[in-house]
Structure 1
Amino acid sequence: MEHPHTPLRRGWTTGSCATAAAKAAWAALCGQGFPDPVTITLPGGQDVAFALAAHGHGPDSAWAEVVKDAGDDPDVTHGAHVRVVVRRAPAGRGVVFRAGPGVGTVTLPGLPIPPGEPAINPVPRRMIRAALTGADGHEPDVEVTISIAGGEEMARHTLNGRLGIVGGLSILGTTGIVVPFSCAAWIDSIHRGVDVARALGLPHVAGCTGDVSERATRALYDLPEEAMLEMGDFAGGLLKYLRRHPVPRVTIGGGVAKMTKLAQGFLDLHSRRGQADMDQLADLAQGIGAPDALVDSIAQAHSVAAAFALAAEAGYSLGPAVARGAWQVACDVLAGTPCVLDVLLFDRAGTLVARHGPYPVAG
């Protein structure tokens, strides 16, 4: 994506920032002073330099702090102060990770890190270990504690609570780079939500497009929070992962506009990926017996919501046919799995407009 005049600027993950801070603190603990800037190697092999925001010594430790720059991405952690304290550990311990203030702890199974461990993902752990390992290939015996000022409050705006990560943020990153407006982080969160649900043995999960449909779906089925997958616009990201990692029952819930797009074959429901085809919606109205004048009005409607309103005023409901079409598109993606699937349509107030299913997905 590009700004009208300049490309969007990339940034750095919390994992990259923590790696840079850890490397600087370890150098100081070894008597080499604090390198500033400090250079680290990303998983892709690129060398990048980070300025230190602050640094210091403790009685038996050294610490350094890096301010996260997320580039032009609207990342909740942009500007976060990532501090790493490094202290020597008993011989044979290797690198041990600790969660300081603002960094969460894993409490549920299914994530790449087991319960009880600090929420520092595998790639950042490897990056930090590599940064602390000497030229002789020897990994030092050290305790690495990562903190993020204000991280517990920032985490309230993430999916961490739903994934069972409590007390703060996760230290994330697979490439070390933040790509502005990337879908990857959101889709990864969806996948981790499925993993947690499967590890807990939940028989029923629900992916919803927004807060209204999520609240309504959860209330309808009395589902636990861990069963709710914040699908957003990424229906394909959820359904394709469920095809490889199935669960017994799946509900897809959303507003009439996004479910209409799903019924028309869109798996990315964001408006920038295309608008719902009003002519197709008019054909659907014709298929349920709507008169020609109403069909023409629906074809000319400025939005899906307006088309639904026109149909309702004339005594016709587009909801059941849209729900049926959305179910079929989702079913095609899940084909061959043992899932039972249903689709729910809600209006803006969270009132159920239509439902199709639950029916088994045909192989």
Structure 2
Amino acid sequence: MNEGIIDPVSGFIYPADWVVRCADPAGLNAVSTGFAVLTSAGTVLKRGFTTGTTAAAAAMAAVLSLDGPVASVQIRLPCGLTATLPVTTLHAGVAVCRKYSGDYPSDVTSGLAIRAEAMPADQTNLSAGEGIGRYSRGTARWMVGEPAISTSAEACILQAIRDGITALGDSCKGASVKLSVPDGVAVASLTLNPQLGIIGGISLLGTTGLVEPWDDHLTSTIMDRVSGADRVVLTTGRIGLRYSRLLFPDHEVVLIGGKIREALDVAHGEVILCGLPGLILRYIDPSILEGTGCVTVEELRGTDNFVPRMEAALKQFTEQHPNVQVVLIERDGSTIGGER
């Protein structure tokens, strides 16, 4: 009997019929281990590695190279998986890892080299050098001048350094590691960093350590992408984005946030509105909460009124907009309303 596959990164259960459609056994193995995703058409798309993971690999390799050349390292990712990344040892204490983007189509950091220099030390410390951006204005979390290294990425890098030190045994008590990105300044100009007040290079990021195989932040071209697609899925948030990509792999999927009206005005051809119910239901039926005593759609979902009100709203909207298909999903990707 064919069974579904659980994504160890997101927890999403790929249905058995998706698995049946896939004719790539090696790809299915990558899906089951978390290094790829499976779409409803049976297509396998490879995940890439974040800048944080890449930096961690370079840092660990630099530490290990104090004892000799290194060709690959195993990194513990923030999501709990262990990944093997190829690295290049330049000489003792210096190593490079190049960013692998998987099937992410427009990753401007793809192939970017992250360099690490390690020196034996009594204590372990990490510093950021050339090509790693710094905050030009203070935020609630970061002070002016601090390097743009996210908390999860920093933890991954430090763990990789500690793992390298442990592997060297008694010959190394600690290590001082400096990271740099030789082409970081040039590449950063192609990212959102200048708009975020990060100057002088790229950011080292990675909540899970993996890069999903699709665009999710091309905000400057949202309406152009919507109007230019004959088959488009409009989604309101990142959870909707993730599952829309899996459910409708042959469509252009665009994250529109709350700009539902604007997107529908320029969309044409086959149009699907997919996402969590909150924003979508409030848009297609502004009066959906009236008389319920509920303040939010989430609150309404906990009552017996939710299903009949949702179905009535979907029916009325579909009658008024026959060219727009609405699909409402749970946070786990399962469908709760509409058709797919």
TM-score (normalised: structure 2): 0.52
Q: 1:129 to 1:255 in 2, by over 3 A?
A: closer
* CA distance in structure 2 between the aligned counterparts of 1:272 and 1:151, rounded to whole angstroms: 40
* Residue aligning to 1:258: 263
Q: Does 1:124 align with 2:153?
A: yes
Match of 1:174 among 207, 214, 231: 207
Q: Does 1:13 align with 2:58?
A: no
The residue correspondences of 1:182-197 to structure 2 (distance < 5 A) are 183=216, 186=217
Q: 1:142 to 1:114 in 2, by over 3 A?
A: farther
What is the letter of the counterpart of residue 95 of structure 1? N
* Residue aligning to 1:246: none
Match of 2:272 among 262, 271, 274: 274
* Residue aligning to 1:308: none
* Residue aligning to 2:63: 26
The residue correspondences of 1:242-253 to structure 2 (distance < 5 A) are none
Q: 1:86 to 1:46 in 2, by over 3 A?
A: same
Matched residues, number: 218
Deviations 1:49-81 (A, max 9, x none): 111234223xxxx11111111100021111111
Matched residue SS, 1:116: coil
* CA distance in structure 1 between the aligned counterparts of 2:212 and 2:96, rounded to whole angstroms: 23
Contact 1:132 1:140 in 2 (8 A): no
* Residue aligning to 2:71: 36
Contact 2:119 2:176 in 1 (8 A): yes
* CA distance in structure 1 between the aligned counterparts of 2:297 and 2:150, rounded to whole angstroms: 29
* CA distance in structure 2 between the aligned counterparts of 1:96 and 1:126, rounded to whole angstroms: 11
The residue correspondences of 1:162-311 to structure 2 (distance < 5 A) are 162-181=195-214, 183=216, 186=217, 210=222, 236=237, 257-258=262-263, 260=265, 274=272
Matched residue SS, 1:22: helix
Deviations 1:105-141 (A, max 9, x none): 1222226443212112111211121122244999965
* CA distance in structure 1 between the aligned counterparts of 2:145 and 2:154, rounded to whole angstroms: 16
* Residue aligning to 1:249: none
Contact 2:60 2:161 in 1 (8 A): yes
* CA distance in structure 1 between the aligned counterparts of 2:187 and 2:215, rounded to whole angstroms: 19
Aligned-pair identity in percent equals: 31
Contact 2:185 2:201 in 1 (8 A): yes
* CA distance in structure 1 between the aligned counterparts of 2:68 and 2:52, rounded to whole angstroms: 22
User: Residue 171 of structure 1: CA displacement?
Assistant: 0.7
Contact 1:209 1:254 in 2 (8 A): no
* CA distance in structure 1 between the aligned counterparts of 2:268 and 2:200, rounded to whole angstroms: 32
What is the letter of the counterpart of residue 14 of structure 1? T
Contact 2:235 2:273 in 1 (8 A): no
What is the letter of the counterpart of residue 173 of structure 1? G
Q: Does 1:76 align with 2:108?
A: yes
Deviations 1:236-258 (A, max 9, x none): 56xxxxxxxxxxxxxx9969741
* Residue aligning to 1:52: 87
User: Residue 87 of structure 1: CA displacement?
Assistant: 2.6
Q: 1:254 to 1:70 in 2, by over 3 A?
A: same
Match of 1:155 among 156, 176, 188: 188
* CA distance in structure 1 between the aligned counterparts of 2:268 and 2:204, rounded to whole angstroms: 28
User: Residue 2 of structure 1: CA displacement?
Assistant: 3.7
What is the letter of the counterpart of residue 110 of structure 2? H
Q: 1:333 to 1:125 in 2, by over 3 A?
A: same
Q: Does 1:66 align with 2:134?
A: no
CA RMSD of aligned residues (A): 4.4
Contact 1:208 1:254 in 2 (8 A): no
Deviations 1:294-339 (A, max 9, x none): xxxxxxxxxxxxxxxxxxxxxxxxxxxxxxx79x69xx8799xxxx
Matched residue SS, 1:39: strand
